[in-house]
């Protein structure tokens, strides 16, 4: 006699593409078989669909602002039972201690949390991170539970240039999955990058780019996050010939999006609304990633597979009425059934020196970062500076705002100062201690007084997000875990996050999620123009560039 039987459900068989009415027998956390079994418990699911638990094959849990235990409570009731996380956000702040925190805090929760070890900490020498992770550190972590591969290799220039320390890291992971990060990489450079043993990419933003990568053997991760929305553009790549080389991933998703749109369930809904066959879409969040990342016994409902099962009434809304993890019912009607667990983080806090942020005019023209909505890519714009008393200042009438990055890990006093377009603020400033990938303190604002006030508020909170205007703090969200995450549940964080965004609306901001856009302003390994604590960075050339230019209009 087995532990329990799910009786009369419609099992979605992802091996054959058939939907079969079967009894599913579960024993000791795994699927014993179909039909003909007696169970100590019988759960009647007649007329309901039984699917394998959903898999998010690439994400940064830190971007949800939640610790792993709270993240599990947010996504498991929506059907996600497995995630493959790259903890390079907390690794850039805390190093190996941060990675160990993510592993330890994810124990004893009903979520399979696998780890891809961060490959590039720091991601670039063009910013100051809180830690450095060498090949020797990764080798030490290889034996940790649930470590399965190497996280996104974002130092493309280092790979192409054959940098020894990076190649040493890659050599450690021969025979294991290695994730890529290759925005806009094509031709011979793509060939050389792949040849180092890097076989996935989640940074593809055009159909042509994606097709070339698929043709060259890349397992393509189609990203649909909060800021990075590539699903609609890449839908044409999902064909009979290619569908088994594709997966959907979330990468970076805000707490308010998790509450309002969902996790992998929300991505499934979008894909089907765009015309993707439901069974194909399901393989892309179950069997495909499980097989590519070699997750044995995950991704299907079949004998010997782990009993991670989603029960729902239809294949359109993907709204689970029951989620089973390792054979146990862990959620009903969107509500988690296990007790909340906390795990304190051994972070020492911020070390920051806030200095004067005047920009003395060295010419009439300057480089400005232009934010692209729904993308982490930016453009470089050459614009005429607004000069007052010999200083370049913000010009909200042209949506030209000052952007400042303060180093927050070592109290070096480093600060990069530039200008950005696309936020739309008419007054005030917004600030964040989330600033990919080194996670220094980033601020965008109209006037220096509010920029400095916002920076001070973040420092006083020991990390977080804030909105200020006219010398007053209007809204804040503390992030006491490495300046990246909170111990609060998703519902609380969602309400606070929405409150922050609504406050920015009153100040004129027009971006869907200005804090997510703000967090990517300093990412130096993505085109085109960025800002770090060391200055303006050309993300294509991989070098610091001057703010002022002599020509270009």
More confident position, 376 or 247: 247
Tokens standing for 539? 């993300």
In angstroms, how far is CA 243 from the centroid of its own chain? Answer: 23
Contact call for residues 117 and 137 (beta carbons, < 8 A):
no
Mean pLDDT of 48-61: 98
User: pLDDT tens for residues 493-544?
Assistant: 999 999 999 999 999 998 999 999 999 999 998 889 999 999 999 988 889 9
Contact call for residues 84 and 46 (beta carbons, < 8 A):
no
The pLDDT of residue 373: 85
The pLDDT of residue 553: 67
Topology, domain 53-299: TIM Barrel (3.20.20)
Domain ranges of the chain: 53-299, 365-549
For tokens 């397992």, the residue is 219
Mean pLDDT of 270-293: 97
Distance CA 298, CA 414 (A): 47
Tokens standing for 416? 């990069």
| Helices marked H in 264-342 | 264-273, 278-283, 287-292
Angle, helices 490-506 vs 68-75, to 10°: value is: 90
User: pLDDT tens for residues 150-171?
Assistant: 999 998 988 999 999 999 999 9
- Quote the percentage of the chain above a pLDDT of 70: 100
The pLDDT of residue 541: 87
List beta partners, residue 224.
Answer: 229
Contact call for residues 417 and 402 (beta carbons, < 8 A):
yes
Which of 292, 251, 343 shows the shortest CA–CA distance to 148? 292
Distance CA 167, CA 158 (A): 9
Tokens standing for 547? 């703010």
Distance CA 321, CA 439 (A): 38
User: pLDDT tens for residues 421-478?
Assistant: 999 999 999 999 999 999 999 999 999 999 999 999 999 999 999 999 999 999 999 9
The pLDDT of residue 250: 97
The pLDDT of residue 374: 80
Collapsing DSSP to helix, strand or coil, 35 comes out as coil
User: What would the DSSP string read from start to end of 124-163?
Assistant: -TTS--S----HHHHHHHTTSTTEEEEEEE--HHHHHTT-
Collapsing DSSP to helix, strand or coil, 535 comes out as strand
As a whole number, the mean pLDDT across the chain is: 96
Distance CA 318, CA 188 (A): 41
């Amino acid at each position: 006699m087995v532990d329990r039987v799910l009786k009369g459900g419609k099992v979605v068989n992802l091996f054959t593409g058939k939907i079969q009415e079967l009894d599913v027998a579960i024993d000791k956390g795994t699927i014993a078989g179909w039909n003909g079994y007696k169970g100590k418990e019988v759960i009647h699911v007649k007329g309901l669909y039984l699917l394998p638990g959903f898999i998010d094959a690439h994400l940064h849990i830190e971007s949800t602002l939640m610790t792993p235990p709270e993240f599990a409570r947010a996504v498991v009731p929506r059907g996600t039972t497995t995630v493959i996380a790259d903890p390079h956000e907390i690794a850039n702040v805390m190093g190996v201690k941060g990675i160990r925190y993510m592993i330890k805090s994810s124990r004893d929760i009903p979520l399979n949390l696998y780890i891809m070890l961060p490959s590039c900490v720091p991601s670039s020498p063009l910013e100051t991170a809180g830690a450095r992770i060498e090949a020797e550190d990764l080798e030490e972590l290889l034996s940790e539970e649930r470590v399965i591969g190497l996280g996104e290799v974002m130092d493309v220039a280092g790979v192409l240039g054959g940098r020894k320390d990076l190649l040493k890291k890659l050599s450690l992971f021969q025979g294991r999955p290695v994730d890529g990060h290759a925005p806009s990489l094509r031709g011979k450079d793509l060939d050389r990058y792949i040849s180092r043993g890097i076989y996935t990419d989640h940074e593809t933003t055009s159909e042509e780019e994606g097709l070339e990568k698929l043709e060259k053997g890349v397992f393509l991760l189609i990203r649909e996050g909060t800021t990075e929305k590539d699903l609609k553009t890449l839908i044409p790549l999902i064909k009979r010939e290619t569908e088994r080389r594709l997966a959907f991933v979330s990468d970076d998703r805000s707490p308010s999006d998790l509450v309002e749109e969902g996790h992998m369930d929300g991505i499934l809904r979008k894909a089907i609304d765009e015309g993707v066959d439901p069974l194909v879409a399901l393989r892309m969040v179950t069997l495909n990633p499980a097989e590519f990342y070699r997750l044995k016994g995950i991704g299907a409902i079949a004998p010997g597979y782990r009993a991670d099962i989603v029960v729902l009434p239809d294949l359109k809304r993907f709204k689970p009425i029951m989620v089973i993890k390792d054979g146990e019912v862990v959620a009903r009607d969107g509500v988690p059934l296990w007790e909340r667990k906390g795990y304190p983080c051994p972070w020492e806090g911020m070390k920051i020196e806030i200095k004067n942020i005047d920009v003395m005019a060295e010419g009439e023209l300057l480089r400005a970062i232009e934010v692209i909505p729904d993308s982490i890519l930016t453009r470089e714009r050459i614009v005429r500076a607004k000069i007052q008393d010999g200083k370049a200042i913000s010009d909200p009438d042209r949506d030209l705002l000052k952007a400042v990055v303060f180093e927050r890990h070592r109290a070096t006093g480093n600060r990069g100062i530039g200008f950005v377009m696309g936020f739309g603020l008419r007054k005030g400033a917004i600030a964040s201690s989330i600033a990919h990938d080194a996670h220094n303190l980033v601020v965008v604002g109209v006037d220096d007084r509010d920029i400095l006030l916002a920076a001070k508020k973040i420092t006083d909170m020991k990390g977080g997000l804030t909105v200020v205007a006219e010398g007053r703090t209007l809204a804040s969200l503390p992030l006491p875990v490495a300046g990246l995450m909170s111990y609060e549940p998703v519902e609380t964080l969602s309400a606070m996050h929405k409150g922050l965004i609504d406050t920015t609306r009153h100040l004129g901001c027009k971006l869907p999620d200005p804090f997510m856009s703000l967090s990517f302003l300093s990412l130096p390994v993505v085109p085109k123009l960025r800002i770090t604590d060391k200055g303006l960075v050309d993300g294509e050339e991989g070098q610091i560039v001057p703010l002022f230019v002599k020509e270009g209009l």
